Amino acid sequence: MLNPARVTLDLAKSLLQGHLHEAEEARVLDHIERRAPISEDASERAESQDSLGDRLADRVASIGGSWPFICTFFLFMAAWIGINSFILAKGGAYDPYPYILLNLMLSTLAGIQAPIILMSQNRQAEKDRIAASHDYEVNLRAELEILGMQEKLDRLRGEQHELILANQAAMIERIDRIDALFAQREITQTGAEE
């Protein structure tokens, strides 16, 4: 008799013969064999690998790339320019007109913030790769399960077809026997009437 639990696993192994060394395929086969779900939160898997620096880079990038930061920094620059321009009119500006100290602060901020944002973007790209890998595993598992169910249905359909043919043959045999009995009875009744 057909072992339904093995159909999908055997089918998956035969379809993935050349790819069993790849991590995703091996993981899918393991989950099929254990009959365990493969779904999980890909972002949790990515975050479990995060270091403190990675989380800090993500946080700095989320703050540095936000409208509140841009507006606050714009207000800071406007205040800096306004105060230094007002003091300049009185003759004692801290950072006079080409605002060299302000340019130095902006350059320093840009020099520090740019690599941190790039680190965060690299982290996001890694998270996207993990999510894509997980999506591939889930899709592969679903496809293999569907193929397994189709295989089971085909086998059951074949078994049912054989059973129907056997039942049909048995019914035809019974009908032939009944016809033979009626034919015999008819012969004996016509013989008795003569």
The helix (run of H) or strand (run of E) holding residue 18 is none
Residues 118-127 as b/e (b if ≥16 CB within 10 A, e otherwise) read ebbeebeeeb
* Per-residue pLDDT at 167: 93
Kindly report, residue by residue over 79-99, the tens digit of the pLDDT: 988 888 877 767 776 777 788
Sign of the dihedral through C-alpha 33, 39, 42, 45: negative
- Token representation of residue 52: 């403190």
Kindly report, residue by residue over 112-165, the tens digit of the pLDDT: 989 988 998 998 898 899 888 889 888 888 888 888 888 888 888 988 999 999
**116 exposed, middle or buried (CB, 10 Å; 0-12, 13-18, 19+)?**
middle
What number of CA atoms fall less than 13 Å from residue 100's CA on the CB side? Answer: 3
Contact 33, 148 (CB under 8 A): no
Q: Is the pLDDT of residue 2 over 60?
A: no
Q: With bands split at pLDDT 50, 70 and 90, how would you rate the model's confidence at 103?
A: very high
Rounded to an integer, the average pLDDT of 21-50 is 78
Q: Is the pLDDT of residue 69 over 80?
A: yes
Distance of alpha carbon 116 from alpha carbon 122, whole angstroms: 10
Going through the chain in order, the beta strands assigned E by DSSP cover none
- Token representation of residue 175: 């009908």
Q: What is the pTM of this model?
A: 0.61
